[in-house]
Amino acid sequence: MSASARQAEHIDSHRDPPVELPPERVVVAVSKLVRRFGDVTAVNGISFEVGEGEIFGFLGPNGAGKSTTINVLCTLLRPTTGRAWVAGIDVVADPRGVRRQIGLVFQDTTLDDYLTAEENLRFHADLYGVPMQSVAERLDAVLKMVDLSDRRDHLVGTFSGGMKRRLEIARGLIHSPRVLFLDEPTVGLDPQTRAHIWEYILELRRAEATTIFMTTHSMEEAERCDRIAIIDKGDDRQGSDRDPRR
């Protein structure tokens, strides 16, 4: 999809997004979501939808509420008000059901440096109840996808930052999630490694038909998404359809 064909949605507390997807295509839906921490409002009445098989970019500056939103969608935080659904499941009513449908890659690494790449993946597969007879096949598939097959028996503590990020993406895929959430997946990486990570993300969408919801503060990364939504803490900017290059 060309950049000029992409659409951006500006999210604030006054306006719903201009793009409406057919109900059968919606895999993530957020309606008037608010999340407060005491007197601080981190997310202020946002609404948007994400379509099946999309790479959806959630773009905004640091502190805009991106990570808070992703934590609500992944059931790590409860919304103060409003509602959200992932794969048709209400994130408050059935958080365990949501967790079975998603993979999550945090900003900061959560791998065990004292285990090998394969041991990290096997541990995650066990937690998600991947059938024993399927684990070996899934391990081979996700390690090949992120180009780490030859490092499967190496301790993760010996990996570079880019290799750890690739392994975390593989870990998030081991149970074949319907939606993969990537929270600033290339933050802190050099330009070459960022380019490689994007190669793996695009291959993932092609090979697994997974919906990808990613947060970013980079306009360059937003260019690679099928659609983006812009979130900002201020309420003074009015929403509009726009090309994400602007």
pLDDT, one tens digit per residue, over 45-56 is 999 999 999 999
Rounded Cα distance, 107 and 195, in Å: 17
Residue 138 lies in a domain: no
Question: What is the value of pTM for the model shown?
Answer: 0.79
What are the residues facing 10 on neighbouring strands? Answer: 230
- The residues, any chain, with a CB within 8 Å of residue 4's CB and separated by 6 or more, are 243
In a domain, residue 83? The reply is: yes
d(CA 147, CA 88): 33
- Terminal CA-to-CA distance of the chain, rounded, Å? 17
Strands 55-59 and 179-183: unpaired
Asked whether residue 208 is assigned to any structural domain, the reply reads yes
Residue-wise pLDDT tens digits, 96-137: 999 999 988 888 888 999 999 999 999 999 988 889 999 999
**Segments of the chain assigned E as strands:** 8-11, 26-37, 40-51, 55-59, 81-86, 89-90, 102-105, 179-183, 211-216, 227-231
87 CB neighbour count, 10 Å cutoff: 18
Reported as a single tens digit per residue, the pLDDT across 168-211 is: 988 988 888 899 998 888 877 788 888 888 888 888 788 778 89
Q: Is residue 243 part of a domain?
A: no
Domain that holds residue 103: 3-112+162-168+177-231
The whole-angstrom separation of Cα 170 and Cα 118 is: 10
Alpha carbon distance 15, 152 (integer Å): 48
The DSSP secondary structure of 191-241, one letter per residue, reads HHHHHHHHHHHHHHHHHH--EEEEEES-HHHHTTSSEEEEE-S-S-SPP--
Could you give the number of structural domains in the chain? 1
**Stretch 7-23: mean pLDDT:** 48
pLDDT digits (tens, 9 = 90+) for 62-100: 888 999 999 999 999 999 999 999 999 999 999 999 999
Residues paired with residue 48 on neighbouring β-strands, in sequence order: 30
Could you tell me if residue 186 is inside a domain? yes
Q: 205 in a domain, yes or no?
A: yes
User: Which CATH number does the domain housing residue 218 bear?
Assistant: 3.40.50.300
d(CA 122, CA 127): 9
Q: What is the pLDDT of residue 21?
A: 57
Q: What is the mean pLDDT of the chain?
A: 83
Residue 52 is assigned to a structural domain of this protein: yes
Within-domain flag for 143: no
